[in-house]
Structure 1
Amino acid sequence: MFPPHRYYYLHNFQRALAWVAERYDDVLDETQRRFVADYAALPQPSQALLARLLLRRGPWFRASGLNYEEIGPAEAAAAPLEALGWLDRDAAMTPDELFGLHTKPELLRLFPHLPASARKAGLLDALRARQPDAQPYRDWHPDAGEAVWRLMAGEVCERFRLMFFGNLHQDWSEFVLADLGVFQYESVPFDAASRAFQSRADVDLYLALHACRAALDETPQAATGAGLDALLAQVQASASANPWLEQRRAKVLLRIGQACERAGDWPAAERVYAQCAYPGARHRRIRVHERMALLPEALALADQALAAPESEEEAQRVARMLPRLRRALGQPRPPAAGLRAAPRHDLVLPRPADGLPVELAVRDHWHRDQTPAHYVENTLFNALFGLLCWPAVFAPVPGAFFHPFQRGPADLGAPDFPARRAAQFQACLALLDTPEYRDEIWRRYRDKQGLQSPFVSWDALSEPLLALALDCVPAAHLKRVFERLLSDVKTNRSGLPDLIRFWPAERRYELVEVKGPGDKLQDNQIRWLDYCLSHGMPVSVCHVRWQDMDAAPATQGDGR
């Protein structure tokens, strides 16, 4: 007998199935309930083999590749799974799938007529030309001395995985990584009613939308001609009263519109964007109108967007488009946007021999023990926000947490994310009006060390850096940054300046955006710079040239 810990992966899968069966009994159909019951009745080696296969890349498996001491002979463990139809050795296999199971020497022994000098891809082309149809493995390899199975239970297990995690980007390995301590998660209390999907239709809609996204990723021409009509029909049929599914559906529409743009099909893109409420769709629709020479329509939509922008990002983009649109229509140019110009440093530095990024070259040039400089980009202020507002981010809001492997709340990117936790965020930010915020951040830094967070990157936050930030950055400045983060969590977590410089003796700091030769400020960086300047926060832009460049010499400076 093997000790229980040898079956850790089996216990994890059993735990997940029990979780789904308990919380989603009203969502499961009879086939899925029967799967749970049949799985529980299997011999342990068969249960373990199926759990192993779900952790591996399939759907085809050779018996010779299934060597697990605690399971024993693969064929014996597979027999009960075959009886249930969960493994099938008679399923049709395509030439591509056959090549995925074998090495080139094995294929040449199996098909001696193929050109031995060809690469494996060439061998596959040659085989496709002779035998393009799928057939059972035994017909490909009549003399095979081992069993080869296709996993047939993958679809129902995929559905279980979706219901457990609420997404398809996490898989069963999450259990293993958590058991090994690779990932650690905050424990958030939630009851049995907390779950990602409220009905069977919700699960079906998610899978339908996922299929649309997969079609776009795998086949770009899926958004052209009849394929576009089919995709749109599928997305339109996936409308839901579930807000986060509707947001997901809107994002799929946005991707379809972008695919139409890439194909140069402007009328199709306009048709898609007209149906899409996802952030950014209106701006793209204005661009499409412009491409179609529908300038009055483009200007009308731009004026509408500028009067009531969905975000700072949209307002910035539309303001950039308006002069061009009005000029094309013979209208007066609108007043220029009143963006503030950040102070500027100009540096001429030796080109790093080791290919060091320009940001780190500037950091090293400025860094002194008495005036340290750190490369932080988006990590520092996000981490300070995440630590101070930890109770708000991980508040047990209904529908935000529904399994133990969540890095953050499921509604993090939703427009109402701050509003649903308004009281908790207000309490956290109120600490910045008292001296207690420093102790609170330090306490969270110690108590939550290593726990997954959508805001805290632990590797980028050292104790010395945290101490400098809390000593040199005024609480009022932290509050301004945190308020802007909350105004648009999804967008404003990025675009923060690259470096932070400290003068500990004077308890002051400066944020610096670094630009190498030919590099320009990005839109989100411009918005952060303007915000910092408008609230009296010290920020600047450092432009760097290398000493070996042929351009006229710039002023040597260090900005000290």
Structure 2
Amino acid sequence: MSRPVLDDPHYYLRNFCFVLDWLTARYAPLLEGAEAAFITAFHDLPEPARALLVRMAMRKGDHFRHHRLNYPEIGSTAAAVAPLIEEGLVVRNVALSLPEAAPLMSSADVSTLAHREGVTGRSKGDRVEALIARCGMAPAPFDHWCASATTEPLYTLTCSEILLRLRLMFFGNLRQHWSEFVLAELGVYRFETVAFPEAARAFHCRADIDLYLALSTQREALDAGESPNALLPSVPEVAADNAWLTGRRDRLLYQLGLAAQRQQQTETALAAFEQSGDGEARMRRLRLLEKQDPQAAWVLADTAWAAPISEAEAQQLARLRPRLAKRLGHVLVPDAPPPATPSCTVTLPRSASVERAVAEAFTTPDAPVVYVENALFNTLFGLLCWDALFAPMPGAFFHPFHHGPADLFRPDFVHRRKALFDQALARLEDGRYMDWIARMRSEKAGLQSPFVVWGLSDQVLDLALACIPAAHLKLIFTRLLHDIKANRAGFPDLIQFEPAKQRYRMIEVKGPGDRLQDNQKRWLAVFARHDLPAEVCHVRWDDSDKGDP
């Protein structure tokens, strides 16, 4: 695909045509008669008609007033819309209910209608609510509601459902809209080239698409305020071998459980959390059971303690189990306290950045301190594991413009790529990792990645590779892979390098009143347990130079 340029006023149309060609090449067997017919009809339309249809698809809603479809590069709206009407992709002057008509009306239009119907209201929204109460929901011609539209056509898209399916197949989700792609200056970002073999397609049959849409409909109903109690029984089942859709179902059940909990539908919340395989669902269920049925909570907590889903869950269980034990009269064998992390306290002049103040105070000519936070280890990990992260897997990549795999935070992300991650980590054992990272820095420079921060200087990366032992990197990367979502954050703020001694130390900075977060505590405990050099620096501000007021 050639890079779209803003000098081309139809570049959004070129991008949309790319989408259709992409889907046709990769999903032809899944494009049922309606979608295939739409694609054929679209390509046969005159350019102004195609451009207008894309403009309408990018806008919110399905209904459009003639005067609001004014695009210089398209020309006459009446001429452009005529082929769309002839093809049945657009219809004129459908009847609308007042809630459908109101978004198309100006405040003046609503005021005119309110005056005619004898209702009042301070704002447009207030007047619309009063009008709906007065006039009801029955559809009527648009000019019945809007006096200024007596001679103005109203156009309605009839192909929205087809466009929705095509959008889902291209993006792999319904969060992204056409405007995010067809209006994008794609040349601003550069993306990794990923193979798209048939086996890596996210949707293998139309039933997969139907199931995704069914789950999305349930989520929309939940967001619209429908009772979780009513929705839970109709959550569709997913085949056990479809991990991608199973993950979406698990997340829906988790959201249902949260909504039920907020609405005090406790039994529904417990059932939803129990059915969900989401990583956070078990702890939510445990906290509910702690209040409702402590004995059941104890049994579940015991099971969870024997095989926690993640370190975060283990950390939360360590807080919950003593409470339950005390309430039920059980005796817990106290766990060994985590190894202590060295700490220091420094007094520094006030600064806008406490981290940079510590970095300046600790830096020496032979041992620079750099503010890296999460960027350094994530970047090294992203470069070392580049081929594993961008491996074509079902549900990972839907189009050529991904910043990273769509399944990055799914529980099975690492398992599905285990052999590739094992190969990447093996480079740390046989010494190939430095050459590999240097090669990736050169070959992939500037490509989008969920881990690599290209703004991190080559000097910092070179210092890191010279000072941090490969065994330490392997330990950090292995733990990161255990829970990517939780563990790619929480690294210490600063790192100090001593290249002459091939040493380093990590420094977590806490200003006055700051406390360690849970993910920071977990990383520091790992560092202490394995003798990796890390410490916490507590900062006090030196206000001694302040004079009396």
Task: Determine if the TM-score, normalized by the shorter chain, exceeds 0.5.
Answer: yes
Identical amino acids, percent of aligned pairs: 47
Range with greater deviation from structure 2 (365-374 or 73-82): 365-374
Tell me the secondary structure at the aligned position of residue 216 of structure 1. helix
1:295 aligned residue:
294
The answer as to whether partners of 1:88 and 1:149 remain within 8 angstroms in 2 is: yes
Q: Secondary structure of the residue that 1:245 maps to in structure 2? A: helix
Counterpart of 1:201 in structure 2 is 207
Q: What residue number does 1:53 align with?
A: 56
CA distance in 1, matches of 2:494, 2:98: 53
Taking a change above 3 Å as real, the CA distance of residues 87 and 515 of structure 1, as seen in their structure-2 partners, is farther
Deviation at 1:539, TM superposition (A): 1.2
Quote the Cα distance in structure 2 between the aligned partners of 1:463 and 1:146. Answer: 61
Partner of residue 389, structure 2: 393
**Quick check: 1:68 aligned with 2:63?**
no
Whole-Å separation in 2 of the counterparts to 1:348 and 1:327? 42
3-state SS in 2 of match to 1:384: helix
Counterpart Cα distance in 2 of 1:501 and 1:439: 23
Instruction: Report the counterpart of residue 3 of structure 2 in structure 1.
Output: none
Cα contact 1:514–1:542 (8 A) shared by 2: yes
Q: Does 1:466 align with 2:466?
A: no
Partner Cα distance (1:57, 1:199) in 2? 29
Q: Which amino acid aligns with 1:170?
A: Q
CA distance in 2, matches of 1:253, 1:236: 10
**Contact residue 429 and residue 470 of structure 2 kept, 8 A:** yes
Mapped contact 2:170–2:399 kept (Cα < 8 A)? yes
Asked if 1:483 corresponds to 2:478, the answer is: yes
Shift of 1:494: 1.9
Q: Which amino acid aligns with 2:162?
A: V
Distance 1:62 1:171 in 2: 21
Aligned residue type for 1:532:
F
CA gap 1:178/1:422 in 2 versus in 1, 3 angstroms: farther
Q: Structure 1 residue 535 and structure 2 residue 530: aligned?
A: yes
* Residue aligning to 2:547: none
Match of 1:554 in 2: none
Q: Shift of residue 409 of structure 1?
A: 2.6
Equivalent residue number for residue 282 of structure 2: 282
Correspondence for 1:497: 492
Of the three residues 146, 151, 160, the one matched with 2:152 is: 146
Corresponding position of 1:79: 82
CA distance in 2, matches of 1:98, 1:363: 60
Return the alpha-carbon distance in structure 2 between the equivalents of residues 498 and 439 of structure 1: 27
Alignment partner, residue 322 of structure 1: 321
Could you tell me which residue of structure 1 aligns to residue 174 of structure 2? Answer: 168
The CA deviation string for residues 503-551 of structure 1, in whole angstroms up to 9 with x for no partner, is: 34443322222333443322222111111112221112223344569xx
Q: Does 1:311 align with 2:316?
A: no
| Contact 2:229–2:265 (Cα < 8 Å) also in 1 | no
- How does 1:216-255 map onto structure 2 within 5 Å? 216-219=222-225, 222=226, 227-237=227-237, 241-255=241-255
In the TM superposition, residue 341 of structure 1 has moved relative to its aligned partner by 1.8
Mapped partners of 2:360, 2:161: distance in 1: 53
The structural deviation recorded for 1:330 is: 0.9
**CA–CA distance in 2 between the matches of 1:121 and 1:424?**
56
Show the counterpart of 1:118: 122
How many residue pairs get matched? 536
Q: Is the 8 A contact 1:266 1:291 kept in 2?
A: no
Native 8 Å contact 1:502 1:510 kept in 2 = yes
Identify the match of residue 504 of structure 2 among 503, 509, 530: 509
Give the 3-state SS of the residue equivalent to 2:60 in structure 1. Answer: coil
> What CA deviation, in whole Å up to 9, does each residue of 1:469-494 have, x standing for no partner?
22332222111111111222232212
Change (3 A) 1:243 1:436: closer
Structure 2 residue runs of 5 or longer lacking an equivalent are 1-5, 545-549
Correspondence for 1:522 among 495, 517, 527: 517
1:426 equivalent to 2:422? Answer: yes
- 1:415 paired with 2:411, answer yes
Q: CA RMSD in A?
A: 2.9
Which one of the candidate residues 23, 26, 48 is aligned to 2:29? 26
Report if the CA contact (8 A) 1:174-1:405 is conserved: no
Give me the whole-angstrom Cα distance separating, in 1, the residues matched to 2:474 and 2:530.
Answer: 11
- How far off is 1:296 after superposition? 1.4
Whole-angstrom distance in 1 between the partners of 2:125 and 2:74: 35
